[in-house]
Structure 1
Amino acid sequence: MSGKLTAMLRVNIVVTVLLGGSLFLFPGMLLAAIGWAPVDPLLTRVLGAALLVMAWGSVQSIRTNSKELTGVIIEIEALFYTLAAIGILRQLLLVPYPTLVWLVFAFLVACSVGWIACWFE
């Protein structure tokens, strides 16, 4: 496994555990604190759970050093971040949102590009 890929997986673990754990444990409080309301706590917890599972996949990929598992994790990450960015872009083009949502979109695009680069490496 390349150093770039290992670094990408490690950063992904940290970001998804922090964000996923926060969304899973404190859905309304976290998003309301940044002005993202109204918040559906059920769907927010589901997103948090999905992010935590993605972090676990990255942990397993590093732990097992399996080329096959790592390939699947890379594809899942690339598809998740790409589809999430497309979904948010659709909303941004239709409704005015605060700057924070644009920053979330930019983060998703950056992650998407990073994972796609790993996919084709």
Structure 2
Amino acid sequence: MNNSSSLPAGLRTWFVIHFVIDMLVGIPLLFFPEVIMPLLGWSPIDPIASRIVGAALMGIGIESWIGRNASLDVYRAMLNLKVIWSSSAMLAIGLGLWQGGASAGWLFLAVFFIFWVVWVYYRNKIN
């Protein structure tokens, strides 16, 4: 069933934007963490943890693309996941920064915060 016509304006566009950003960040983290992480000031590099983050970003981003034409109920479930994921990521990044993590973490924190605001806004709008 496709009742996407009842979606709030802009939500589908945000899902596509999310897909693009997640792919732009996730693919390099998954395949080239030894190259990407030093460019961001991360040292030492844990290639397994970096690749897991890349895989998570790709999985959530690809689902954003696949689900962009889904029903309102599917969007509601995907927004729940995105709110939980971005909240958890902000907590993890914040803890890392508090313990002296790479300053590039502030950029990631800002990006996750922007997406968190978007996801919470739309989740409340379709509630």
Normalising by structure 2, we get a TM-score of 0.84
Shift of 1:107: 1.6
2:61 aligned partner: 55
Shift of 1:15: 0.4
Whether 1:114 and 2:94 are equivalent positions in the alignment is no
User: How many corresponding residue pairs?
Assistant: 119
Whether 1:103 and 2:107 are equivalent positions in the alignment is yes
1:72 aligned partner: 77
- Alignment gaps of 5+ in structure 2: 1-6
Whether 1:38 and 2:41 are equivalent positions in the alignment is no
Structure 2 counterpart SS, 1:15? helix
Shift of 1:88: 1.5
1:34-71: per-residue Cα shift (whole Å, max 9, x none)?
Answer: 211211111111111111110121112113x2222211
Larger CA deviation: 6-15 vs 29-38 = 29-38
Q: Percent identity?
A: 23
Question: In angstroms, what is the RMSD of aligned CA positions?
Answer: 1.5
- Alignment gaps of 5+ in structure 1: none
Higher relative contact order (CA 8 A, sep 6+): 2
Whether 1:5 and 2:14 are equivalent positions in the alignment is no
Matches of 2:101 and 2:77, distance apart in 1: 36
Shift of 1:118: 1.1
Normalising by structure 1, we get a TM-score of 0.88
Query: Between Structure 1 and Structure 2, which shows a larger proportion of helix residues?
Result: 1
Structure 2 counterpart SS, 1:3? coil
